[in-house]
Structure 1
Amino acid sequence: MKVLALILSTSLLYFSVLQLSRAADTISAAQSITSTNTLVSSGQSFELGLFSAGNSEAWYLGIWYKNFPTIVVWVANRENPVADSHGSLKLSKNGSLVLLDQMNNTIWSSTSSQVAEDPVAQLLENGNLVVREKDKTDSESYIWESFNFPSDTLLPEMKVGRDFRTGLNRFLTSWKNASDPSLGEYTYGIDNLTLPQLVVAKGSKKLFRTGPWNGVQFSGTPDSGNKRVVKPIYVYDTNEFYYMYEVAESSILTRVKLSETGLAQRLVLNEGSTEWAVMYTLLNDRCDNYRECGANGICRTSKSPSCECLQGFVPKAQNEWDVLNWESGCIRQTPLDCQKEAGFLKVRNVKLPDLSEFWANTKMSVQECEAECLRNCSCVAYASSDIPNGGSGCLMWFGDLIDMQEFLEEDVEQDIHIKMPFSELGGTGKKDKRVILISVISAVSVLPLLALLCWCILLKKRGRNVSTSTGSRSIKEDWELPLFDFKTIATATNNFSHTNKLGEGGFGPVYKANLTREEFIAVKRLSKDSGQGIEEFKNEVTMIANLQHWNLVKLLGCCIEREERMLIYEYMPNKSLDCFIFDQNRKVLVNWQKRLNIIMGIARGLLYLHQDSRLRIIHRDLKSSNILLDDELNPKISDFGIARIFGRNQTEAKTKRVIGTYGYMSPEYAIDGKFSEKSDVFSFGVLLLEIVSGRKNRGFHHPDHHHSLLGHVGMVTVE
């Protein structure tokens, strides 16, 4: 048996500093900071001194949290370290900070166009090291400040962006590695002067971008859903443009760190805690990859495969898309013709395309924006640039639409309107009066036919209701499965309210329902837009009605009324496994013992399906979102919509319709459509790696290669 060992290493910071005998928060030109003392902020939150990282013999001037001395938030001499611990920081008479080595050679110095008469250096409570006149304390009088020269950490009230008056451009730069704070390969800051957006880049290559500021937030940053923690601030005027944030609650500490591998993470420390939690990581999902779906494609994390062409577009190279290579992007199915009328397709809740070819006017209304885009033959899409002010402002795109992503959050209200020929819009939009007149005359002439058609539909609907009732009786007779009426379910789910929604899969949405004050159920409702249909519904009813095991979700009944198809399950209060192992705050709730219990429970359920149940079942879609957790975090396998029954002596089957989730599929199933017990075992192996590592297989990133988590583990095992 091969064993995968996960080794966690921690880089240590060695300090040659001792606490000052007095609580100093300033130094004057007559004082200095040496290797035997530190400068401490007035509120005792931060310290400044010399440190050495890891096994390195180089020493640096830095600022760190006093209570977390291994977390360095700023480094002065990143490219020119002191050879040993015998260094000193002095403040010159004109207001320059100077770092000297043992031989009094200048290692680093602050630069400023201003000269001070009576300067002092002060480490502020927010971690900002400033030089100011002794009798002035306001921020406008700072001669120099460390916040203007960020390292790899963005603290509250620290800015990223440009100062037009001085030409200063503030951005984060990663460390080279955990033992070397010199400039690394990755940066995090604002690009595009006309309409700024936050970007993570490796050199000149974009890796991730947020999308432009829309008056509330950068459309692609998770900060919008964390208003309890941070308050984002964006300023753009004649003097400067910048982004910064403030802490919403004083009891919370938070910072943004750009790691040496290019991951930008927001970390949070709650009051009373000693462990920093990762609130979110930018570039954490495949859809976060810049230009993941190529030109005119959109990435949807809720679907598999995640890349789709926008409506009205088709893959430019279908053979490449067939093997999940989306780099070539999409092209219009029907090219735009400036001589013919066009309309707009509204795409909701998206990260707006990149701003490579665009035009912006903040004074224009949305109605004027639409009219202008229609008049301009080169315009392909438009959107509002300022959501709070009634959706005012105008953005127009020309050429290809690059790096679009769909968001599932309801508070993301950013929409885009894509110009389309009327033929691609089903004939909707503005038409000339002649066409409207002809339509009215035609409508009047066919009214008798419409009346007859409505009568036929009513008769057909009655017949279908009779057929449905017959089908319901058949289900009840065959499986003795309880039937729920639609009215009861609608009432229990508060008429399928969004607040009762637990999630959504390929089958459709799942809702929490209250039958009584103490009795809860989960209702899975077949969506009309679902890729699955009646066959999958019948299949799941057939499967689960005949399966009884502690580690399989229990089917309580179903609802078949009119066009409705719903499955009623036992309610799982902790939702699915992915809500824990991939969530930076909740994963601490599943320690190693609980993870082992979850793994063993899934294995027992799978063994029952393959060997011990009356029906031998191949699940075909085993993944973290299909593992539900009860109130004690016991796992239950769910979603049998695409499962298949195997005969006792059957070893393999083949299908032309490969459905499931990429990243969990075995190679022989994804490529040739062949599936067996081994297919589920392969999926279980991927799931096992995700549970142990806490990383998604398809969302895994490594700076040295582009493999998934599975490929990375394979490389490590070989090495």
Structure 2
Amino acid sequence: MKGLPFIFTSLLQFLVLQLATAADTISPSKPIIGSDTLVSSGQSFKSGLFSAGNSSWYLGIWYNNFPDVVVWVANRENPLADSYGSLTLSKNGSLVLLDQMNNSVWSSTSSQVAEDPVAELLETGNLVVRDKAATASEIYIWESFDFPSDTLLQDMKLGWNFRTGHNRFLTSWKNDSDPSPGQYTYGMDNVPLPQLVIAKGAKKQFRTGPWNGLRLTGTPGSSVSYEVVHPIFVYNTTDLYYSYEAVDKSVVTRLKLSESGIQRLVVNKGSTTWAVMYTLQYNQCDNYGVCGANSICKINKSPVCECLHGFVPESWNEWGVLNWTSGCRRGTPLNCQKGEDFLRIRNVKLPDQLDFRVILSTSIDECKAECLRNCSCVAYTKSDIGKGDSGCLMWSGALIDMREFDEDDREQDIYIRMPFSELGKSSRKGKRVVLISVLSAVSLLIVLGFSCWYIILKKRRKKRASRDSKEDLELPLFDFDTIATATNNFSHTNKLGEGGFGPVYKANLTREEFIAVKRLSKDSGQGIEEFKNEVTMIAKLQHWNLVKLLGCCIQGEERMLIYEYMPNKSLDCFIFDQSKKALLDWRKRFDIIMGIARGLLYLHEDSRLRIIHRDLKSSNILLDDELNPKISDFGIARIFGRNQTEAKTKRVIGTYGYMSPEYAIDGKFSMKSDVFSFGVLLLEIVSGRKNRGFHHPDHHHTLLGHAWLLWNKNKAILGKTSNVIRGVHVRQRGSNIASTKGAWFLHRKKFHGYG
């Protein structure tokens, strides 16, 4: 009798183990009903009925540790009215979802039949139907991976099975709480050289470049993920698909499609938070054909669109108001005569394949010769850099959807056909370059003769200049050793951030006294003049909403500014952060806006000097311990006379996206330039969205252009990113903020079309 409890316990454990091992499969005699679920063998995925928040119920698959992250939905177009449903497996191997009246609302379809079928949720997240005796993927009767929802998991394939004619592509949810099919799809574009495309209905919204033998081109941001995942591309007589496999087994990753584009999300195993690794359709230049035909998008320029060399706008009037959709045409037509050649454009996203040829196994020189022989050929490049630069791509007609990338992005070059007259211009430029190079070499020899003399003279002047600088600045001077000790020898852990001037460090002078140290970088684009400018300017300014300069350090080559410490760093750390933005309710945002406005008014009207800041942006607004705003970074600010209204410079410096159009294009700046920047900042604070990088599914405007459209329709700019501030009633200040927005938009009207 004493052994009975032990026997009973062992039997119970055996039964539990049997149930656990069977929990990843169903059979014709064992459906899942109601709240029952399948769990994959390694406990990574779970499948069952769920409600997305719209009161309807769906059969889905989700991460076991992240129940809210649904990766697949079966009955997207025909939901259950309640949770009383069941998933059954028929004797021929079809999965059938039944409602409580036993009506079929969804079923799997397959031309194959199983003798002894079983459905299994695999550790990959794939729900498969197979014969009980079979395990190989080649003999799956049906699998959920062939019918993706809005998520691409490892081992899923995006593309075509030519044997069956089946195309696998992602389809977005209608919204965050409705899994029914949305307007957006992401899949393989079956063109001569395949590429991935986001489409809204039949209209392209974004595309990658073609596969170049190593990776999909035109998506340099995605290269950051190659340490985590390895891309796979297969193109043969039976298959055309894109997939990926994990490189780093310590992380879990997925691709998700929404109206904002494609995101690669990752989470470390054991962590509870997903992080965005990169986003496709991230900025204005990612929007398909934003600049029209025969043009190129340059995200670091303003305006972002330019005609290709030798081309002019199709409509000067439209380009004048930054509407580029009409594109560009050749200034001098091609005539297919001798003398025509090609202009190399480096590091670009290749044009779309609208009128296009692929020639395999040919050299780049043979490709050029073939293009010259073909009068309709307007451009060419290499096709497969993964196989010794073999193959050739040739375009005819218009060149659509090109963009320029940074040098570090290592994208491809393209060769554009040019008439002799345009090449002559380039040739004359080349001769001037050669002449300048020769003269430079001669000058270098002369300079070397004076080098020794100059070094000696420089050493003599250095001590005198350092002494004079200290005397001119009229500020408390800090000792370098003191600052080095306070910043833990400028350690990375003390680093708060970095700007054009150089890095900023947190320094601890005493146990309770902290300061911020701005150290001039030796390779900074700014230099001694900006340093002196900032010191001289801020030393003469005193206002609650301007950052306070406590002193400076000048010792040898070192130049440092000492500021009051701002524990909450800069405004952009709050308004663009998904968790921190919740700390800024409407009242606090309003106070920040008014604080910035007061500081700007002081600079323009109330201080002894009239100051034009020229670089007002969210990262230059610091927040103290009570989240009060302080305008900072006066390195490129300019002093105006009391009667001066405008100035002009050939050196346009600042931050694109915050610059007024007349400053970015013509170099003209004034108080209005700061007001324009303040308007951009105001919109970012209210909406929680960045002006640059803003994306909207219905148009290609920046945040400014979007706000202008809403303003004309008398709609609010608050979006779903601003739930934290929606609905808060501000009684006394409501009319004031409306007046502030209205006044700014009246000012904005002068720049109609910019954005």
TM-score, length-normalised on structure 1? 0.75
Could you give the per-residue CA deviations for residues 222-279 of structure 1, whole angstroms, max 9, x where no partner exists? 32222122211111111111001122222211111112x3522222212332122222
Alpha-carbon distance change, 400 to 669 in structure 1, aligned in 2, over 3 angstroms: same
Q: Which amino acid aligns with 2:537?
A: L
Within the candidate set 117, 130, 141, 2:128 is matched to 130
Q: Which amino acid aligns with 1:153?
A: T
SS in 1 for 2:412: coil
> In the alignment, is the contact (CA less than 8 A) between 1:544 and 1:640 conserved in 2?
yes
SS in 2 for 1:227: helix
Q: Which amino acid aligns with 1:418?
A: I
Q: Which amino acid aligns with 2:204?
A: K
**Percentage of pairs with the same residue:** 59
Counterpart-to-counterpart distance in 2, 1:465 and 1:557 = 26
* 1:300 CA displacement: 1.2
Aligned to 1:303: 301
Counterpart-to-counterpart distance in 2, 1:404 and 1:215 = 20
Could you give the per-residue CA deviations for residues 660-694 of structure 1, whole angstroms, max 9, x where no partner exists? 66643458978999864454244134225436755
* 1:112 CA displacement: 0.9
Could you give the per-residue CA deviations for residues 378-406 of structure 1, whole angstroms, max 9, x where no partner exists? 21111111122222221111112111111
Alignment of 1:18-97 (within 5 A): 22-23=20-21, 24-56=23-55, 58-97=56-95
SS in 2 for 1:522: coil
* 1:523 CA displacement: 3.9
Alignment of 1:314-713 (within 5 A): 314-408=312-406, 410-426=408-424, 480-481=468-469, 521-523=520-522, 540=530, 543-544=533-534, 546-548=536-538, 551=547, 592=583, 609-610=603-604, 615-624=609-618, 637-638=632-633, 640-641=635-636, 643-648=637-642, 650=643, 652-653=645-646, 663-665=657-659, 676-677=670-671, 679-690=673-684, 694-703=688-697, 708-710=702-704, 711-712=706-707
Aligned to 1:189: 187
Alpha-carbon distance change, 456 to 661 in structure 1, aligned in 2, over 3 angstroms: closer
Aligned to 2:117: 119
Q: Which amino acid aligns with 2:617?
A: K
* 1:288 CA displacement: 0.8
Alpha-carbon distance change, 703 to 451 in structure 1, aligned in 2, over 3 angstroms: closer
Aligned to 1:487: none
Aligned to 1:7: none
Alignment of 1:253-268 (within 5 A): 253-259=252-258, 261-268=259-266
> In the alignment, is the contact (CA less than 8 A) between 2:519 and 2:559 conserved in 1?
no
Q: Which amino acid aligns with 1:355?
A: Q
> In the alignment, is the contact (CA less than 8 A) between 1:200 and 1:262 conserved in 2?
no
Counterpart-to-counterpart distance in 2, 1:451 and 1:93 = 85
Alpha-carbon distance change, 629 to 237 in structure 1, aligned in 2, over 3 angstroms: farther
Aligned to 1:245: 244
Tell me, which stretches of 5 or more residues in structure 2 are unaligned? 1-16, 471-496, 505-516, 540-545, 719-755
Larger mean Cα displacement after TM superposition, 682-691 or 293-302: 682-691
* 1:627 CA displacement: 7.1
Residue 263 of structure 2 corresponds to residue 273 of structure 1:
no
> In the alignment, is the contact (CA less than 8 A) between 1:62 and 1:72 conserved in 2?
yes
Counterpart-to-counterpart distance in 2, 1:360 and 1:651 = 61
SS in 1 for 2:691: coil
Alpha-carbon distance change, 127 to 403 in structure 1, aligned in 2, over 3 angstroms: same
* 1:152 CA displacement: 0.9
SS in 1 for 2:678: helix
SS in 2 for 1:85: coil
Alpha-carbon distance change, 580 to 705 in structure 1, aligned in 2, over 3 angstroms: same
> In the alignment, is the contact (CA less than 8 A) between 2:367 and 2:392 conserved in 1?
yes
Counterpart-to-counterpart distance in 1, 2:501 and 2:684 = 24
Matched length: 633
> In the alignment, is the contact (CA less than 8 A) between 1:211 and 1:351 conserved in 2?
yes
Could you give the per-residue CA deviations for residues 545-589 of structure 1, whole angstroms, max 9, x where no partner exists? 522368499998999xxxxxx9977799x9x979967988xx768
SS in 2 for 1:219: coil
Alpha-carbon distance change, 350 to 545 in structure 1, aligned in 2, over 3 angstroms: same
> In the alignment, is the contact (CA less than 8 A) between 1:209 and 1:290 conserved in 2?
yes
* 1:615 CA displacement: 3.8
Counterpart-to-counterpart distance in 2, 1:601 and 1:229 = 44
Counterpart-to-counterpart distance in 2, 1:552 and 1:477 = 26
Larger mean Cα displacement after TM superposition, 245-254 or 135-144: 245-254
Tell me, which stretches of 5 or more residues in structure 1 are unaligned? 1-18, 430-438, 440-446, 483-502, 527-535, 560-565
> In the alignment, is the contact (CA less than 8 A) between 1:618 and 1:680 conserved in 2?
yes
Alpha-carbon distance change, 612 to 718 in structure 1, aligned in 2, over 3 angstroms: closer
SS in 2 for 1:369: helix
Alignment of 1:84-233 (within 5 A): 84-221=82-219, 222-233=221-232
> In the alignment, is the contact (CA less than 8 A) between 1:298 and 1:309 conserved in 2?
yes
> In the alignment, is the contact (CA less than 8 A) between 1:94 and 1:119 conserved in 2?
yes
Counterpart-to-counterpart distance in 2, 1:625 and 1:425 = 44
> In the alignment, is the contact (CA less than 8 A) between 2:520 and 2:558 conserved in 1?
no
Counterpart-to-counterpart distance in 2, 1:428 and 1:665 = 32
Counterpart-to-counterpart distance in 1, 2:18 and 2:191 = 45
* 1:186 CA displacement: 0.7
Q: Which amino acid aligns with 1:309?
A: C
Larger mean Cα displacement after TM superposition, 385-394 or 538-547: 538-547
